[in-house]
């Protein structure tokens, strides 16, 4: 029963919505009122003409008074089209109600006078005023129209009387028809109004379900954030605990290297390998500690004003030997003169890490480091001719400890997958972006964009979860 009522209302709404101007569809209350107006004007005249045809049958001929009644009822079909063209809803609703009262009083004057069976239709006028017009002022106007029309009708009755055009038997038949039509009309409007109320009830239930789902999502998000902070705290503590014995291992290995004699001996090579592995592991632990601090929102931006060209030259000088050691050629496109306000330490780590990646995955190739300024933004790009990466795997590079099906993607950005996630989050922290363009076998281009002046406030503290959501 409910599904049938809902489907009926949906189909009916679709048929009448064609007449509704777009501006009435933004307010749900206004939309329902206009729909009621159109519904009564599209289907109401069918019932009204039952009355006019009954009068024609009882009288046996169509005189002028009958044609006036017939045309005034048919005029209701024009209102939906006028509404679609002009959008004058309130004036049309008031004119329509006046038109209905004219039909009622004209029918009463011609067929039965003050005791006409058509008179009970006057009860529908305030009902339609309630359906059509949501504002209090317009409903008062409808009440005033009823009073004025009743006054005029009574004045006409008192001064001129009514003609006896229909005998008492015919009036009885007309009364039965009028009662039946009025019942059908009121029932039809009530049924449509009930379908609207039911649809609104369903909508309210759906809104309530969405609110409950939203609360559940908020609780789940809060729990995930608490778990994330707990994990960050654990990683930070474990990183500190790991650094202490590791520093001891590195220190003792350096002492042993000094006592071992020539570095080309097997013992010297083994000790050097231990020290190198120790420094490598220390770097990974430092990156892990930095990521946990980023995740906990405890990393601040220490912005400083410096000349970007001088900073760029220092980066080139420090990285040229390691790039040449891999058999690669370093091409440099120096930036124009200009100053930048940002965290130089974090920017240095970003560029150093990206150059290290380019050198690691490019052999006997070419690495291009370029910088420029455009629209108040510094742009640094590192392009290599190395192994490249599939486009579908690029986004996973920014995920910490993410797993990739592509071997190249799992290698790029160093094995532990910490360098690029750190660079990505550092750029976000400084108000910039980091993007990658790459094709397998054709090399990779990493682009860093930074504002000339980094915004430094509490909002620039980002969590790793936020960064991953933004990356997704």
Domain locations in the chain?
Answer: 2-214, 226-295, 304-471
Calpha distance 295→425 (Å, rounded): 10
Q: What pLDDT shows up at residue 75?
A: 92
Below-50 pLDDT ranges, the chain: 402-416, 458-472
Calpha distance 26→36 (Å, rounded): 16
**Contact (CB, 8 A) for 409 and 396:** yes
Q: What pLDDT shows up at residue 360?
A: 83
**Contact (CB, 8 A) for 267 and 258:** no
Q: What is the pTM of this model?
A: 0.46
Q: What pLDDT shows up at residue 412?
A: 43
Q: What pLDDT shows up at residue 464?
A: 39
Calpha distance 128→131 (Å, rounded): 5
- The fold of the 226-295 domain, in CATH, is Helix Hairpins (1.10.287)
Q: What pLDDT shows up at residue 71?
A: 92
> What count of other Cβ atoms lies within 10 Å of the Cβ of residue 2?
9
- Contacts (Cβ under 8 Å, ≥6 apart) of 61: none
Domain 304-471 -> CATH class: alpha beta
SS (H, E, C) the chain: CHHHHHHHHHHHHHHHHHHCCHHHHCCHHHHHHHHHHHHHHHHHHHHHHHHHHHHHHHHCCCCHHHHHHHHHHHHHHHHHHHHHHHCCHHHHHHHHHHHHHHHHHHHHHHCCHHHCCCHHHHHHHHHHHHHHCCCHHHHHHHHHHHHHHHHHHHHHHHHHCCCCCCCHHHHHHHHHHHHHHHHHHHHHHHHHHHHHHHHHHHHHHHHHHHHHHHHHHHHHHHHHHHHHHHHHHHHHHHHHHHHHHHHHHHHHHHHHHHHHCCCCCHHHHHHHHHHHHHHHHHHHHHHHHHHHHHHCCCCCCCCEEEEHHHHHHHHHHHHHHHHHHCCCEEEEECCCCCEEEECHHHHHHHHHHHHHHHHHCCCCCEEEEEEEEECCEEEEEEEECCCCCCHHHCHHHHCCCCCCCCHHHHHCCCCCCCHHHHHHHHHHHCCCEEEEEEECCCEEEEEEEEECECCCCHHHCCCHHHHHHHHC
Choose among 427, 388, 389, 421: nearest CA to 402.
421
């Amino acid at each position: 029963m409910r599904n049938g009522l809902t489907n009926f209302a949906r189909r009916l709404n679709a048929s009448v919505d064609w007449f509704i101007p777009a501006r009435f569809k933004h307010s749900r209350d206004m939309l329902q009122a206009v729909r009621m107006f159109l519904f009564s004007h599209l289907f109401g005249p069918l019932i009204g003409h039952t009355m006019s045809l009954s009068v024609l049958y009882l009288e046996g001929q169509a005189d002028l008074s009958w044609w006036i009644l017939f045309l005034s009822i048919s005029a209701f079909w024009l209102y939906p089209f006028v509404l679609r063209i002009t959008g004058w809803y309130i004036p049309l609703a008031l004119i329509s109600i006046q038109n209905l009262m004219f039909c009622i009083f004209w029918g009463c004057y011609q067929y039965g006078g003050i005791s006409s069976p058509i008179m009970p239709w006057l009860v529908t006028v305030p009902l339609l005023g309630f359906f059509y017009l949501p504002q209090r002022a317009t409903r008062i106007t409808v009440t005033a129209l009823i009073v004025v029309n009743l006054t005029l009708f009574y004045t006409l009755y008192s001064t001129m009387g009514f003609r006896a055009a229909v005998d008492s038997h015919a009036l009885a038949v007309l009364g039965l028809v009028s009662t039946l039509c009025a019942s059908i009309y009121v029932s039809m409007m009530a049924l449509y109004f009930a379908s609207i109320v039911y649809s609104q009830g369903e909508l309210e239930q759906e809104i309530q379900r969405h609110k409950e789902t939203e609360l559940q999502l908020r609780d789940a998000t809060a729990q995930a954030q608490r778990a994330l902070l707990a994990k960050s705290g654990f990683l930070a503590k474990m990183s500190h605990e790991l650094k202490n014995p590791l520093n001891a291992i590195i220190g003792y290995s350096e002492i042993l290297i000094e006592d071992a004699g020539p570095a080309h001996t097997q013992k010297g090579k083994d000790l050097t390998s231990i020290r190198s592995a120790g420094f490598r592991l220390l770097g990974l632990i430092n990156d892990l500690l930095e990521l946990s601090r980023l995740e906990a929102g405890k990393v601040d931006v220490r912005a400083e004003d410096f000349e970007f060209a001088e900073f760029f030259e220092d980066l080139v000088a420090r990285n040229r030997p390691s790039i040449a050691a891999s058999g690669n050629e370093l091409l440099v496109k120096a930036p124009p003169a200009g100053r930048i306000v940002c965290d130089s330490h974090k920017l240095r780590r970003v560029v150093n890490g990206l150059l290290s990646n380019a050198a690691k995955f490019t052999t006997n190739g070419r690495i291009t480091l370029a910088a420029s300024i455009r629209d108040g933004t510094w742009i640094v790009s590192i392009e290599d001719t190395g192994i490249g990466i599939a486009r579908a795997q690029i986004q996973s590079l920014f995920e910490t400890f993410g797993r990739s099906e592509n071997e190249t993607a799992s290698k790029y950005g160093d094995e532990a997958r910490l360098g690029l996630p750190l660079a990505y989050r550092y750029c976000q922290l400084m108000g910039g972006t980091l993007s990658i363009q790459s094709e397998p076998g054709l090399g990779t281009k990493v682009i860093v964009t930074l504002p000339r002046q980094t915004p430094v406030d509490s909002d620039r503290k980002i969590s790793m979860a936020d960064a991953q959501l933004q990356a997704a």
